[in-house]
């Protein structure tokens, strides 16, 4: 939440009402903008940060690989370390022999999500792009399309769906119950849960920081020594939440990438 919007939340009041504190809404907290006649609601700031994040990611890897050498410089070392962390810790660990082929995609996915998450605690920006549901949905759909594509390419259309939905070695009558459950779990719900997990964590974290910030400023502007002292509590809590959110930013990027690798591995596996 920017200081400008915090001040607007404290001072603005609906038309016809007295000036005073106005609690933050979701539109204020996540920078929604009404476009045209107001029927379209978007976030210009989120789109600007999204594009800026892509530029930063591309510029970082281009700069890190521009003067590649056997004895890496600091930037090359940073790039290789980040790539190696995902390649060795996720791609090869989960996908095995297929890991190196998917390491580039998974490393890019991880860093892209991390950058879009970290905007939430960057001064002035202060908006996690992944707290807008459309972004996690798009990322989840990309993973789901790849997951379906590589599975169908390797096993064939019917072979892939049989592997995903049919469990061998159980009584035939159980298939009536288990095939729909497996189809729902492995085909339908995977992109949904992948998107909701990332969105919900980033949305909730940003709202907590916003509430702590508004609470501190409200108490400090209410007057009185007691209110001023009480305002220290949400202020300190807000600082703690920022550091906690930094951990969540990295953790959610890691979990999303890890699950993407697990889904790809299940498509490339020889058996269910």
In a 10 Å sphere around its CB, with 0-12 CB exposed, 13-18 middle and 19+ buried, how is residue 95 labelled? buried
pLDDT, one tens digit per residue, over 196-233 is 999 999 988 888 888 888 888 888 888 788 888 888 89
Q: Give the Cβ contact number of residue 262 at 10 Å.
A: 14
Number of Cβ atoms within 10 Å of the Cβ of 206: 24
Instruction: Give the per-residue pLDDT at 40.
Output: 55
What φ, ψ does residue 33 adopt, rounded to 5°?
-125, 130
Tens digits of residue pLDDT in 30-77: 666 666 555 555 678 888 899 999 999 999 989 888 877 777 788 888
Task: Give the count of domains, the chain.
Answer: 1
Q: What is the rounded (10 degree) CA torsion for 190, 196, 201, 204?
A: -170
Average pLDDT, the chain: 84
Query: What pLDDT was estimated at residue 272?
Result: 57
- With bands split at pLDDT 50, 70 and 90, how would you rate the model's confidence at 166? confident
Element (H, E) at 49: helix 44-66
Helices marked H in 184-224: 189-220
Cβ-based neighbour number of residue 82 at 10 Å: 17
Give pLDDT, residue 26: 62
Phi-psi region of 113 (alpha: psi -120 to 50; beta: other; left: phi over 0): alpha
Range of the domain at 92: 3-268
Distances, alpha carbon 257 to alpha carbons 25, 74, 126, in Å: 31, 25, 24
Entry pTM: 0.84
Q: By the 8 A CB rule, do 235 and 227 touch? A: no
CA 60 – CA 42 distance, rounded (Å):
29
What gap in Å lies between CA 203 and CA 130, rounded to an integer? 8
Would you state the pLDDT for residue 219?
Answer: 85
């Amino acid at each position: 939440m920017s200081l400008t919007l915090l001040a607007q939340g404290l001072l603005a009041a609906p038309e016809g009402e007295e000036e005073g504190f106005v609690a933050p809404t979701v539109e204020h907290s996540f920078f929604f903008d009404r476009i045209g006649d107001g029927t379209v609601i978007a976030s210009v700031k989120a789109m600007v940060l999204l594009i800026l994040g892509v530029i930063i990611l591309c510029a970082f890897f281009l700069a890190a690989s521009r003067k590649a050498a056997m004895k890496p410089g600091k930037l090359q070392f940073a790039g290789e370390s980040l790539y190696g962390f995902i390649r060795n810790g996720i791609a090869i660990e989960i996908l095995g022999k297929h890991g190196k082929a998917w390491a580039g995609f998974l490393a890019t996915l991880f860093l892209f999500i991390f950058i879009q998450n970290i905007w939430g605690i960057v001064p002035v920006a202060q908006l996690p792009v992944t707290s807008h549901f459309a972004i996690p949905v798009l990322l989840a759909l990309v993973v789901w399309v790849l997951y379906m594509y590589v599975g169908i390419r390797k096993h064939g259309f019917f072979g892939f769906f049989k592997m995903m939905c049919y469990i061998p070695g159980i009584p035939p009558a159980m298939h009536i119950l288990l095939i729909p459950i497996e189809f729902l779990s492995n085909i339908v719900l995977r992109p949904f849960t992948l998107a909701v997990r990332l969105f919900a964590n980033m949305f909730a974290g940003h709202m907590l920081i916003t509430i702590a910030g508004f609470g501190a400023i409200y108490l400090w502007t209410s007057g009185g020594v007691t209110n001023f002292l009480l305002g220290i509590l949400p202020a300190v809590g807000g600082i703690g939440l920022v550091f906690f959110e930094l951990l969540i930013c990295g953790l959610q990027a890691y979990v999303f990438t890890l699950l993407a690798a697990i889904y790809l591995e299940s498509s490339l596996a020889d058996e269910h």
